[in-house]
C-alpha cells in the first residue's frame, strides 16, 4: 500500500521552552522503505540544539550501519546504539535523560511499521470514523531510554500521527483528523502550519504524519469534493494575500500617488459636468502637460550631462563654469512657464526623483536580502559542520579533524561588514576554538601550580636549563650560579662558584647528574658539590649542542660536525668515543635530542627526526594543532612510551605516544617563558621551568 510522510517542525529559536527536530530518510535502494525520527528536549539554547542534532545524527549513522538486516532487527540495533550512546552525549544518566527527552524512532517497509516511543510522544490512529490512541504506558522499572518496540500493518484509509503533546493542547483530535483525512497530505501540513502560526512563540510543535495513498475513484462525488477542496484552498490563499496587502504599509511613492489622485478627483467633482467635458479645457490640459514633460526631459538630460562632465573632471573650475552655462538656459525656460506649469514641472521632477530613489532602494533591498540569505546559509553550514565534528569525536577522530578544518575555512571567508556580523564571527570563532581544544585534547590551565619563584634570589641572572636528582631540582643560569629546590621540603638553595654550564642531564644507570661546562669539561653534582668526571672526548668534536644518556652510554649532539658521538662509562670515566651515525643526516635545524631506544631530534620547524640502528628511520611534521611554531625541548627516556615537547611560542606542553598520537596538551597564559622540563612518569608529574618560576603539572 503506497503511503506518504509529512512533518511539522515549528520552533522559534530563543523563545520556545523546548527545541527539537523531525527527519525522514527514504531508502534509495528499495521502494516503500523509510526511516524516521522525532526528537524534543527541554531548553532552547545552543547546547540543547547541539544535543538534538547529535541524537539525530547518531540515529542516522546507526540506521546506515545495520542496512542489511531485517527491519525489526535493524530497529532494535538502532535503539541499542541510542541507549548506549545518548548518556555519553548528554553526559548524564539515562534516568535524567528520560525526564527531559521526548522521542520516537521507527521505520516502514512495504506495509509494515516498526517503532519505539519514549517520553511524552503520543501515537494516534486516525480513520474517517475512528480516533484511537495506540501509545502504551511506559514501564516505571524499565532499564533503558527506549525499552520496547511496537509493530503493525498499515491498512487502507489509515492515518498515523506521532506528535508531542503541544499539538493536541491547541487543536482537538477531531479537528486534526478532519484536516488530515480531508486534504491531501501536503495541503494538510500547510493548513496545520498556518493555524499553528498564530500560537504564541513560546510553544514549539513537532509531529509526523503517515498517510496511505488510495487510488482516486472517477465518480462525480469525488470530483465535486476535489473541486470544493481546491476552491476552499484558493479562498484561503486569497484571504492571506489580501491580509498581507492590508497589513503592508505603503511606500512614499504610493502615498504621494494616492494623495494626488484623491485631490484630482475632488477637483473634478467640484466642477460642473459640462465644464469638465469642455474641449478647450482638455486641449489646454494636454498642451500644458506636453510642454511640462518636454521641459522635464530636457532638464534631466542637462543634469545628467553636467553630472557626467563634473564626475570625469573631478569638479574643476572649468566643469563648474560649464555646469552653470548649461543650467542658465534651463532657468530662463522655466521662468517663461506659467504658474501651473511651474508647479506641475516641480511635482513631476520630485516624483521622478522619488521613483528613481525607490528603484535604487528596492535594488539595494533585494541585494541586501540575497546577501543575508547567503550569510545565513554560510553560518548554518559552519554550525552543521561543527556539530558533525563534535559527534564524530566519539567514533572517528580523523573525520572530526577534517570537519573542524572545513568549518574553520568557511569561517575565514565569513563577511564582517557590520557589528552584528563581527559579533557572530567572534561567537563562532570562540565555539570552534572550544571544539578544537576538545578534538586536539588541549587542557587550558588558568592557574597552574607554582612551587617556587627564585627571581628575587638570582635577579641578575637568567635561567637556562633544569635537571633533577633525587628530590632536588637544579636550575642552571647563564652565570656561575646554580639554583636548587628541594621538592620534599620546599626549600631553596643557592649554589655559588660553579663553572658556566653548557648542558646537563641525569644519568639514570649510575644515578648522578652530569654537567658539561662551556669549555667541554664534565662534572657531577654530589650533595650540592661538584665532582670532576674524566672524559676522553673525540678529536673531531666541534661543539656539544645537547647530551642524553641511554644504558651505560653518553650521546653528544654535534651539529657542526654533523655527528652524534657515543661514549661509554667504564670505571668512573667516559671513553671509547665513536661516531654513532652511519649515514649523513642534516642536523643544522635540531634544537633538542632525547633517547628511549630510538633517538628523537626535534627540529625548529616543528618536525621530529627519528633515528634507529645508526640511521634515519622517519621524519615528518607532528599531527598536532595548533601547529608547533617555536619548539625548544623534547624529552623521553629509557622504558618510556611517551614523548614530551615544549613549544615556547604557543605556550604548550605536548604529550604524545611514540606513534605520534596526542595524549594530552597543556596550555596556559602563565607559560610565557618556557625553558626546560623534568618528567617523573612514576609520580605522574611534570616540572616546567618558566623564566624564574617552576610549575608543577599532574599527568593523566
Record: fold of 3-215: Phosphatase 2c; domain 1 (3.60.40)
| C-alpha to C-alpha distances, 393 to 77, 88, 441, 525, 647, nearest whole angstrom | 21, 12, 11, 48, 25
Report the percent of the chain where pLDDT is more than 70: 82
Between helix 397-412 and helix 419-439 the angle, nearest 10°, is: 160
For residue 346, whether the previous peptide bond is cis, meaning omega lies within 30 degrees of 0, is: no
Give pLDDT tens digits for 96-138: 777 788 999 999 988 889 999 988 899 999 988 888 998 888 7
Length of the chain: 700
Of residues 108, 94, 182, 188, the one with CA closest to residue 146: 94
Instruction: Phi first, then psi: give them for residue 534, nearest 5 degrees.
Output: -65, 140
In angstroms, the CA 294 to CA 290 distance is 6
pLDDT tens per residue, range 632-673: 999 999 989 999 999 999 999 999 998 888 999 999 999 999
Provide φ and ψ at 582, rounded to 5°: -110, 0
Separation of CA 171 from chain center: 38
Q: Who contacts 469 (Cβ-Cβ below 8 Å, separation ≥6)?
A: 506, 511, 512, 513, 525
Predicted confidence at residue 36, as pLDDT, reads: 93
CA-based nearest residue to 9, from 39, 31, 32? 39
**Cα gap 116→196, rounded to integer Å:** 27
Q: What is the pLDDT of residue 275?
A: 43
Q: Of 587, 608, 607, 605, nearest to 596 (Cα)?
A: 608
Coil/strand/helix, residue 273: helix
Half-sphere exposure of 605 (CA within 13 A, CB side): 8
Q: Do domains 3-215 and 449-698 have the same CATH topology?
A: no
**Hey, which of 193-197, 312-316, 425-429 has the most confident mean pLDDT?**
425-429
pLDDT of residue 272: 44
Residue 367 clears pLDDT 60, i.e. is over it = yes
Whole-number Å distance between alpha carbons of 602 and 610: 9
C-alpha 256/C-alpha 347 separation (Å) is 10
Residue tagged 652511519 (cell numbers)? 582
**pLDDT at residue 250 greater than cutoff 60:** no
Helix axes 173-182, 185-196, angle to 10 degrees: 140
d(CA 632, CA 466): 13
Interval 486-514: pLDDT, tens: 999 998 888 876 778 889 999 999 999 99
52, 20 in Cβ contact below 8 A?
yes
pLDDT digits (tens, 9 = 90+) for 399-421: 888 999 999 999 999 999 889 99
Can you count the helices (H) and strands (E) in the chain?
14, 35
| Domain chopping of the chain, boundaries | 3-215, 253-337, 363-439, 449-698
CATH class of residue range 449-698: mainly beta
Q: State the average pLDDT over residues 477-493.
A: 87
Q: Which residue has the higher pLDDT, 295 or 11?
A: 11
Whether the CA torsion 314, 318, 322, 324 is positive or negative: it is positive
Nearest Cα residue to 691 out of 454, 495, 468:
454
Q: What pTM does this model have?
A: 0.53
Question: Alpha-carbon distance 7 to 162, whole Å?
Answer: 10
- Better pLDDT: 28 or 371: 371
Please report the pLDDT score of residue 251 as a whole number. Answer: 46
- pLDDT mean over 158-167: 91
Measured distance CA(518)–CA(501) in Å, rounded: 6
Tens-digit pLDDT profile for residues 298-324: 665 556 555 555 555 544 556 566 666
**The pLDDT of residue 620:** 67
Average pLDDT over residues 584-596: 95
Specify the pLDDT at position 216: 43
Task: Check if the beta carbon of residue 645 is closer than 8 Å to that of residue 602.
Answer: yes
Amino acid at each position: 500500500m503506497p503511503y506518504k510522510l509529512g512533518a511539522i517542525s515549528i520552533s522559534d529559536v530563543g523563545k520556545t521552552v523546548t527545541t527539537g527536530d523531525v527527519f525522514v530518510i527514504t531508502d534509495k535502494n528499495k521502494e516503500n522503505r523509510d526511516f524516521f525520527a522525532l526528537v524534543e528536549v527541554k531548553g532552547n539554547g545552543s547546547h540543547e540544539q547541539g544535543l538534538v542534532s547529535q541524537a539525530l545524527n547518531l540515529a542516522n549513522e546507526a540506521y546506515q550501519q545495520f542496512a542489511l538486516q531485517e527491519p525489526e532487527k535493524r530497529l532494535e540495533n538502532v535503539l541499542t546504539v541510542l541507549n548506549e550512546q545518548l548518556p555519553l552525549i548528554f553526559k548524564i544518566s539515562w534516568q535524567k535523560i528520560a525526564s527531559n527527552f521526548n522521542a520516537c524512532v521507527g521505520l516502514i517497509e512495504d506495509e509494515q511499521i516498526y517503532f519505539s516511543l519514549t517520553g511524552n510522544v503520543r501515537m494516534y490512529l486516525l480513520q474517517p470514523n475512528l480516533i484511537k490512541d495506540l501509545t502504551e504506558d511506559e514501564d516505571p522499572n524499565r532499564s533503558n531510554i527506549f525499552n520496547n518496540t511496537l509493530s503493525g500493518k498499515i491498512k487502507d484509509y489509515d492515518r498515523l500521527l506521532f506528535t508531542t503533546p503541544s499539538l493536541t493542547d491547541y487543536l482537538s483530535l477531531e479537528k486534526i483528523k478532519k484536516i488530515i483525512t480531508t486534504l491531501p497530505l501536503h495541503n494538510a501540513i500547510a493548513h496545520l502550519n498556518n493555524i499553528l502560526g498564530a500560537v504564541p512563540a513560546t510553544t514549539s510543535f513537532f509531529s509526523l504524519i503517515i498517510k496511505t495513498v488510495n487510488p482516486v475513484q472517477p465518480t462525480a462525488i469525488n470530483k465535486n469534493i476535489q473541486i470544493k477542496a481546491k476552491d476552499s484552498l484558493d479562498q484561503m490563499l486569497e484571504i492571506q494575500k489580501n491580509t498581507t496587502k492590508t497589513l503592508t504599509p505603503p511606500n512614499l511613492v504610493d502615498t504621494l500617488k494616492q494623495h494626488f489622485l484623491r485631490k484630482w478627483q475632488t477637483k473634478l467633482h467640484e466642477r460642473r459636468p459640462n465644464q469638465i467635458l469642455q474641449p478647450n479645457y482638455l486641449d489646454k490640459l494636454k498642451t500644458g502637460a506636453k510642454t511640462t514633460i518636454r521641459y522635464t526631459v530636457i532638464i534631466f538630460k542637462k543634469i545628467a550631462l553636467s553630472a557626467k562632465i563634473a564626475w570625469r573632471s573631478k569638479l574643476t573650475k572649468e566643469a563648474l563654469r560649464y555646469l552653470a552655462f548649461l543650467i542658465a538656459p534651463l532657468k530662463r525656460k522655466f521662468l517663461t512657464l506659467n504658474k501651473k506649469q511651474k508647479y506641475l514641472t516641480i511635482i513631476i521632477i520630485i516624483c521622478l526623483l522619488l521613483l528613481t530613489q525607490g528603484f535604487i532602494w528596492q535594488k539595494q533591498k533585494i541585494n541586501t536580502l540575497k546577501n543575508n540569505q547567503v550569510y545565513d546559509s554560510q553560518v548554518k553550514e559552519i554550525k552543521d559542520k561543527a556539530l558533525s565534528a563534535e559527534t564524530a569525536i566519539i567514533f572517528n577522530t580523523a573525520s572530526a579533524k577534517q570537519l573542524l578544518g572545513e568549518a574553520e575555512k568557511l569561517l575565514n571567508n565569513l563577511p564582517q561588514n557590520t557589528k552584528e556580523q563581527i559579533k557572530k564571527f567572534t561567537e563562532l570563532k570562540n565555539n570552534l576554538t572550544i571544539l578544537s581544544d576538545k578534538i586536539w585534547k588541549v587542557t587550558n590551565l588558568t592557574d597552574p601550580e607554582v612551587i617556587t619563584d627564585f627571581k628575587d634570589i638570582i635577579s641578575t641572572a637568567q635561567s637556562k636549563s633544569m635537571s633533577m636528582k633525587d628530590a632536588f631540582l637544579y636550575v642552571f643560569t647563564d652565570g656561575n650560579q646554580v639554583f636548587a629546590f628541594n621538592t620534599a621540603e620546599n626549600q631553596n638553595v643557592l649554589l655559588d662558584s660553579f663553572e658556566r654550564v653548557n648542558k646537563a642531564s641525569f644519568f639514570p644507570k649510575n644515578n648522578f647528574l652530569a654537567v658539561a661546562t662551556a669549555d667541554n669539561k664534565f662534572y657531577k653534582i654530589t650533595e650540592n658539590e661538584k665532582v670532576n668526571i674524566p672524559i676522553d672526548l673525540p678529536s673531531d668534536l666541534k661543539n656539544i649542542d645537547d647530551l642524553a644518556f641511554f644504558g651505560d652510554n653518553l650521546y653528544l649532539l654535534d651539529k657542526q660536525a654533523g655527528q652524534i658521538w657515543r661514549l661509554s662509562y667504564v670505571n668512573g670515566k667516559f671513553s671509547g668515543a665513536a661516531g654513532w651515525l652511519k649515514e649523513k643526516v642534516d642536523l643544522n635545524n635540531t634544537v633538542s635530542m632525547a633517547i628511549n631506544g630510538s633517538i628523537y631530534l626535534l627540529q625548529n620547524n616543528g618536525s621530529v627526526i627519528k633515528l634507529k640502528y645508526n640511521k634515519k628511520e622517519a621524519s615528518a611534521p607532528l599531527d598536532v594543532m595548533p601547529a608547533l611554531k617555536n619548539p625548544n625541548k623534547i624529552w623521553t627516556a629509557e622504558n618510556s612510551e611517551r614523548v614530551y615537547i615544549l613549544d615556547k611560542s604557543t605556550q604548550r606542553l605536548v604529550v604524545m605516544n611514540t606513534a605520534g598520537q596526542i595524549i594530552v596538551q597543556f596550555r596556559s597564559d602563565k607559560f610565557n617563558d618556557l625553558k626546560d622540563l623534568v618528567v617523573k612518569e612514576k609520580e605522574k608529574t611534570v616540572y616546567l621551568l618558566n623564566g624564574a618560576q617552576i610549575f608543577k603539572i599532574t599527568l593523566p
